[in-house]
Amino acid sequence: MISMDNAVIRVENLSKQYRLGQFVGYQTLRESLVNVFSSPFRYLHSAITRQNGESANGDVNRIWALKDISFEVKRGEAIGLIGRNGAGKTTLLKILSRITEPTEGYAQIRGRVGSLLEVGTGFHPELTGRENIYLNGAILGMKKKEIDRKYDEIVEFSGVGKFIDTPLKRFSSGMQVRLAFSVAAHLEPEILLVDEVLAVGDLDFQKKCMGKMEEVAGGGRTVLFVSHNMGNINNLCPKTILLEQGRVAMIGESHEVISKYIGMGADTSGEVTWDDLEPAPDNDNVRLKAVRIRSKNNVTRDILINEDIQIEIDYWNQNEKDILTTILILKDKMGSDVLASNNSPSANLSVDNWSRERHPKGLFRSICAIPANFLNNDKYSIDVGISNGRGWEAFKENAISFVVHETGEQKKEYSVNWRGVVRPRLAWSTKFLGHNSSKYHRNA
């Protein structure tokens, strides 16, 4: 039993189950009543089987999006929530926001909740931006005078003042996010739930949002923040919850939880392989076969800083129609992007003969070379993907990790730790300009 002392969010044995392969559309009241009265026993049986997660023929086809989740958040805490796609993060926030109900367990919340879960959540597309501000304020239980007092600040922060009297359906997704975040942050909810939607906005607005959330958290309000940007999580949240396959994998100090997350699922031998097509990421057109790290032609995850690195990505192509591009994203130990690269001509120092050609069916290998003396000594992970120019055909987050080790040579000349993620050897030269080159020179 978790105590509720000074806690504003309490979650105990929370579980959420979904059925797979079934879509239940919305019905009018008339349609529902007709179903009940025309076939009452069949309607009752189907309702019972839906409740039990079983179809009418007795087959079980269900998945636990969350299973036995328990934690508490105290007043004024900023808590990070991380995990891979499908781990249950958004489902948890939807339950806390009362958008969906749990299957088992319960969640107690003390305070007014503001949510920013996905573009347009809580907004009405037919209403104008102005009307949606007042609608959201009313949903939060605020009086019109309170909203009036914050209105100008909300509009100015969002940057959509020119379109504020335009119906929301005319807004771009980025404009909707800007307005939604501004409303959620400025209408003073006691608890702010934020999902990974800020990536829709531009970089400047993301920085504004992070600054605002730091202000909100510093002002004594409670923040539960979902993000794939581990740098943002670590900067904003002293404590983080890690979800894995719908369960709590770890709760603790953010830097420790992030370190565990980065290492989860990442290969420790320098190579990860999928020998069969079926379990391999990602669809019927393209599937990954292997990702490996090489140094001096050896497969390894431990690389000296003065050694070249080769990243090999093997994949099966099953569709002869597409031109495919191989992409990798290199991340530091906090999960922040270090660099992204691909094999297209504009991003390639070498020549890749397949970068602009339609791929026949078969097995391909793309190799990316990272030069020696480029990365600093640290731990890194790699996301890999294959794109057809319209979207991902295959993608694997944290496919593999490796460690760059210090040789000690530069330590002899520079005793402190080198700053930064990259540490390239750059060209330097110094010239002697003469004894009288400075006007401040004094004769001996």
Of 186, 188, 125, the residue nearest 155 (C-alpha): 186
Q: What is the mean pLDDT of the chain?
A: 80
Q: Residue 120 burial by CB count (10 A; 0-12/13-18/19+): exposed, middle or buried?
A: middle
Both structure tokens of 373: 């003396």
- 295-324 pLDDT per residue, tens: 888 898 888 888 899 999 999 998 887 889
User: What whole-number distance in Å separates Cα of residue 76 and Cα of residue 6?
Assistant: 10
Would the pLDDT of 435 be above 50?
A: yes
Quick one: average pLDDT of 104-126?
Answer: 79
Q: 191-194 and 113-116 as β-strands: parallel, antiparallel, unpaired?
A: parallel
Residue 419 Cα distances to 304, 308, 422, angstroms: 17, 21, 8
**The Cα angle at residue 337 between residues 331 and 342, in degrees rounded to 5:** 85
User: What whole-number distance in Å separates Cα of residue 241 and Cα of residue 246?
Assistant: 12
Q: Which residue has the higher pLDDT, 335 or 27?
A: 335
Quick one: average pLDDT of 396-419?
Answer: 73
**What residue ranges do the domains of the chain occupy?**
7-15+67-262, 22-60, 271-405
Task: Provide the CATH number for the domain formed by 271-405 in this structure.
Answer: 2.70.50.60
Of 255, 301, 332, 259, the residue nearest 400 (C-alpha): 301
Q: Residue 131 burial by CB count (10 A; 0-12/13-18/19+): exposed, middle or buried?
A: middle
Residue in the block written with tokens 């000074």: 6
CB 68 within 8 A of CB 92: no
N-to-C CA span, the chain: 81
Of 316, 264, 323, the residue nearest 289 (C-alpha): 316
Would the pLDDT of 410 be above 70?
A: no
Quick one: average pLDDT of 188-196?
Answer: 82
Question: Considering the chain, what percentage of its residues have pLDDT values greater than 70?
Answer: 80
Domain 7-15+67-262, CATH homologous superfamily name and number: P-loop containing nucleotide triphosphate hydrolases (3.40.50.300)
Instruction: Out of 133-147, 213-227, 228-242, 263-277, pick the least confident.
Output: 263-277
* pLDDT band with cut points at 50, 70 and 90 for residue 255: confident
Would the pLDDT of 68 be above 90?
A: yes
Instruction: Say yes or no: do domains 7-15+67-262 and 271-405 share a fold.
Output: no
- 19-35 pLDDT per residue, tens: 876 544 444 444 444 44
In this prediction the pTM is 0.59
DSSP 282: B
CB 81 within 8 A of CB 243: yes
Of 154, 145, 140, 151, the residue nearest 221 (C-alpha): 140
CB atoms within 10 A of CB 426: 6
